[in-house]
Amino acid sequence: MEELTFLKRKATEIRKELITMIYESGTGHTGGSLSNTDILTVLYYKIMNVDSKNPNWEDRDRYVQSKGHSVESYWAVLADKGFFPKEELQTFSKFNSRLIGHPNNKVPGVEMNTGALGHGLSIAVGMALAAKLDNKSYKVYTVMGDGEQAEGSVWEGAMAAAQYKLDNLIAIIDRNRLQITGGTEDVMGLEPLGDKWRSFGWEVVEVDGNDIEQLVTVLSDNPKVSGKPLLIVANTVKGKGISFSENQVGWHHRVPTKEEYELAIKELSEQLEVLV
């Protein structure tokens, strides 16, 4: 229980950090960063074997953020883990900053530049296959958006992962059901999403992607099935943690006003007070 409380507090702290980054920089993908915060928190503070003092350690687990636009939570986590100074977060999206609006592998801890959707899974497949060929035990994790599932390259990567029996690969879909132009089922229907991935040869598990305990459980026991890559459908709430941004498509890419920012910080601070 103490560990779960720590993870919940950390996720809330990361949300405070990312909303501050977006407010102060005047740009950012708010909704998706808030929805994937719990996933990143569990990966980096509980599951993945990484070392901020040695980010290029050969046996490290690999993480690829395929939904690269939701980078603010990623930057906040990497800074908090010590991959770069926290003070650098204040430069987010400013002139000459390396903390740009998508993951940039000039930053320690970032494996690959991402931005154009649909590429992350294929990159992760290559990394996982390399581990198998080199007899390495590291695992590869990637987070995709649900709107990203409309990209054909996602399904090419899915086929390859099953073909090569990459049970060291864990893909997570941030299933918040909203994308920039509306609901996913209106823009490009995805259901039955889990069955589609199963038909491609993957083991599929569905969880509440904003429930820390469920995420810890599903990510702590891998591979689920020997010889099969794992796909986690993480059902999340876009804009999670801030009342007025939750499930609002307009918060896909929006900067809070001064009043909204102050209210967001107040709500998140109150959530922290409960987590003692």
Which one, of 66, 75, 83, lies nearest residue 18 by Cα? 75
Which one, of 94, 98, 86, 64, lies nearest residue 18 by Cα? 86
pLDDT at 225: 85
pLDDT at 115: 86
For the chain, domains (ranges, CATH) are 2-274 (3.40.50.970)
Span 110-142, pLDDT tens digits = 999 998 899 999 999 999 999 999 999 999 999
List the strands of the sheet with 169-175, edge to edge: 62-65, 140-145, 169-175, 230-235, 203-208
List all residues 6 or more positions away from 180 whose beta carbon is below 8 Å from its beta carbon: 147, 249, 252, 253
Q: Measure the CA angle with vertex 155, ends 151 and 157; round to 5°.
A: 110
pLDDT at 20: 98
Per the rule left: phi > 0, alpha: psi between -120 and 50, beta: everything else, 166 is: beta
Span 62-94, pLDDT tens digits = 999 999 999 999 999 999 999 999 999 999 999
Which one, of 150, 173, 178, lies nearest residue 237 by Cα? 178
| Residue segments in the chain with a per-residue pLDDT below the cut of 50 | none
Alpha carbon 256 to its chain centroid, in Å, reads 22
Paired sense of beta strands 169-175 and 140-145, if any? parallel
Contact 70, 32 (CB under 8 A): yes
